Amino acid sequence: MASGRKLRSGYTTGACAAAAAKGAALLLLGREPAAAVLRLPWGDPQAREVAFPLVGCAAGEGWASCGVVKDAGDDPDATDGLEIRAAVAWSARDAAAASIEIDGGEGVGRVTKPGLAAPVGGAAINPVPRAMIETSVQEALAEAGVSVPPALRVVVTVPRGGEVARKTLNARLGIEGGLSILGTTGIVIPMSTDAWRATIDACLDVARATGVSSAVLAHGRSSEAAARRLFPELSPEAFVLMGDHVGYALEAAARRGLGVVLAGQFAKFCKVAAGHFATHVKDSTLDPTVLSRLLGEAGFPPAEAEAALGANTAREVFERLRAGGDRGVFAALTAEVARRASARLGGRVPLEALLFGYQKECLARVSLPASGPPGGPA
């Protein structure tokens, strides 16, 4: 990717499903559309018309189906390039009643745990995409001159959805057998934090709904795996990948009244100890003065403490401490992280910080009780 090039936005699975449904409805009503037009961002008064090319259109007695190939733009999305399909048929449920029934078929997951936007047992099609699909079908009816809305059934499918879903967090959230149909605006902003935050929120909602009292917020999969090994008694719903979104995850957990366990490795903990709650390299850099101070307080000779200021990476310092003895630096770092995180939350919930080594060994753990007004439901 060329440096400085503006990143190209893409479209959500929800927008693609809505466009496919509109195309299928038009085809069912005798039109032969090459594209389906939606106004995006969804719900925005300044929305513009976006034409989604239709693929694989087919029709039979009382039904029609179309597909839209998802374009995620420059966002690194596992669903980029997938075909999102919708079949529209006259409803056999109650032909006399005007209604649009929406369900998921092949490649669309089913919800198996509470706490998500879709009900347990239902297709993993979130409320906004459902509204988009219904509105798009109604638009197709109007374009075709149908004045009395009929009863219709829309089934969204994603060929290869089950395969691709294995690369996502769906199974952990309680979505089995396929992908989720998601999106609130219809547009994917590349490299935004929206998708991460939505996933954190969904994980925490599931955790609370399944009776979890504390969420284990892990920086990455290695620290999550180490925490799972340390807490084998905890249910899978207790573990939440927060990535670099430490501050957001902390506050989201506290709003739900959940206790917090922060699980991380040395480099990320150094950033949090310095007061950085967004730990991606673009948002924060390692502050070596924190390490130098901790080494000095632990009794390392001034020359060794000062040498930390010139370290190339935090891991370089970590390896020295691991080889020669840390003299309590790991515990002090972990305590600093716990204090910073608890202060960020005003002490509303109990908090524990866990420092793991690169072989998943637990190097230090520090617990702080709740000391302020409790967090309330989100």
Strands 214-218 and 259-264: parallel
**Does 129 lie in the same domain as 267?**
no
- Summarised one tens digit per residue, pLDDT across range 194-216 is 777 888 999 999 999 999 999 99
Residue where a domain terminates, one of 129, 154, 188: 188
Question: How high is the pLDDT of residue 376?
Answer: 45
Among the candidates 188, 212, 247, a domain finishes at 188
Q: Do 232 and 336 sit in the same domain of this protein?
A: yes
**329 part of a folded domain:** yes
**Does residue 180 sit in the same domain as residue 199?**
no
Domain shared by 15 and 122, yes or no: yes
Give pLDDT, residue 2. Answer: 35
- The answer as to whether 249 is a domain residue is yes
Q: What is the predicted pLDDT for the residue at 6?
A: 62
Kindly state whether residues 49 and 198 are assigned to the same domain. Answer: no
Q: Is residue 181 part of a domain?
A: yes
Question: Is residue 4 situated within a structural domain?
Answer: no
Q: Are residues 173 and 202 in the same domain?
A: no
> Residue 95 CB: number of other CB atoms within 10 A?
10
256: in domain = yes
**Mind listing the pLDDT tens digit for each residue in 155-183?**
999 999 999 999 887 888 889 999 999 98
Handedness of CA 231, 236, 238, 242 (dihedral sign): positive
Q: How far apart are CA 170 and CA 83, in angstroms?
A: 19
Residue 333, CA distances (Å) to 93, 270, 293, 323, 365 in order: 63, 7, 10, 17, 10
| Sequence-separated (6 or more) residues with CB below 8 Å from residue 198 | 182
- CA 348, CA 238: separation in Å to the nearest integer? 19
Please report, for the domain that includes residue 59, its CATH number: 3.30.2110.10
Residues present in the chain in total: 378
Average pLDDT, the chain: 89
Q: What is the pLDDT of residue 377?
A: 40
> 158 and 233, same structural domain?
no
Beta carbons within 8 Å of 343's beta carbon, 6+ residues apart: none
**How do 351-356 and 362-368 pair as beta strands?**
antiparallel
The 3 state secondary structure assigned to the chain is CCCCCCCCCEECHHHHHHHHHHHHHHHHCCCCCCEEEEEECCCCCCCEEEEEECEEEEEECCEEEEEEECCCCCCCCCCCCCEEEEEEEECCCCCCCCEEEEEECCCECEECCCCCCCCCCCECECHHHHHHHHHHHHHHHHHCCCCCCCEEEEEEECCCHHHHHCCCCHHHHCEECCECECCCCCEECCCCCHHHHHHHHHHHHHHHHCCCCEEEEECCHHHHHHHHHHCCCCCHHHEEECCCCHHHHHHHHHHCCCEEEEEECHHHHHHHHCCCCCCCCCCCCCCHHHHHHHHHHCCCCHHHHHHHHHCCCHHHHHHHHHHHCCCCHHHHHHHHHHHHHHHHCCCCCCEEEEEECCCCCEEEEEEECCCCCCCCCC
Task: Identify any residues that bridge with 295 across adjacent strands, giving them in sequence order.
Answer: none
Nearest of 342, 120, 113 to residue 235 by alpha carbon: 113
Residues with Cβ within 8 Å of residue 45, at least 6 apart in sequence: none
> Do 228 and 172 share a structural domain?
no
Beta-bridged to residue 263, according to DSSP, are 218, 354
pTM score: 0.70
Co-location of 325 and 347 in the same domain: yes
Do residues 127 and 177 make contact, with C-beta atoms less than 8 angstroms apart?
no
Do 41 and 181 sit in the same domain of this protein? yes
373, part of any domain? no
Q: What is the pLDDT of residue 108?
A: 98
Parent domain of 284: 194-368
| Distance separating alpha carbons of residues 100 and 136, to the nearest angstrom | 11
Question: How many independent structural domains does the chain possess?
Answer: 2
Place of tokens 């840390």: 326
Residue 375 lies in a domain: no
* 233 contacts: CB under 8 Å, gap ≥ 6: none
Do residues 304 and 355 share a domain?
yes
Domain boundary among 188, 203, 220: 188
Does residue 378 form part of some domain? Answer: no
Contact (Cβ atoms closer than 8 angstroms) between residue 159 and residue 20: no
**Backbone phi and psi for residue 102, each to the nearest 5 degrees, phi listed first:** -125, 130
| Domain shared by 132 and 254, yes or no | no
> How would you write the pLDDT of the chain (378 residues) with one tens digit per residue?
333 456 688 999 999 999 999 999 999 999 999 999 999 999 888 899 999 999 999 999 999 999 999 998 877 788 999 999 999 999 866 555 568 999 999 999 999 988 888 899 999 999 999 999 999 999 999 999 987 778 999 999 999 999 999 988 788 888 999 999 998 899 987 645 677 788 899 999 999 999 999 999 998 888 999 999 999 999 999 999 898 899 999 999 999 999 999 999 998 999 999 888 876 545 446 678 888 899 999 999 998 888 888 876 788 888 889 999 999 999 999 999 999 999 999 999 999 999 999 888 999 999 999 986 665 443
CA angle 199/207/357 to nearest 5° reads: 75
Q: What is the pLDDT of residue 98?
A: 62
What is the rounded distance in angstroms from the CA atom of residue 343 to the CA atom of residue 348? 9
Please count the other Cβ atoms lying within 10 Å of the Cβ belonging to residue 192.
12
Distance in angstroms (rounded) separating the CA atoms of residues 132 and 18 = 6
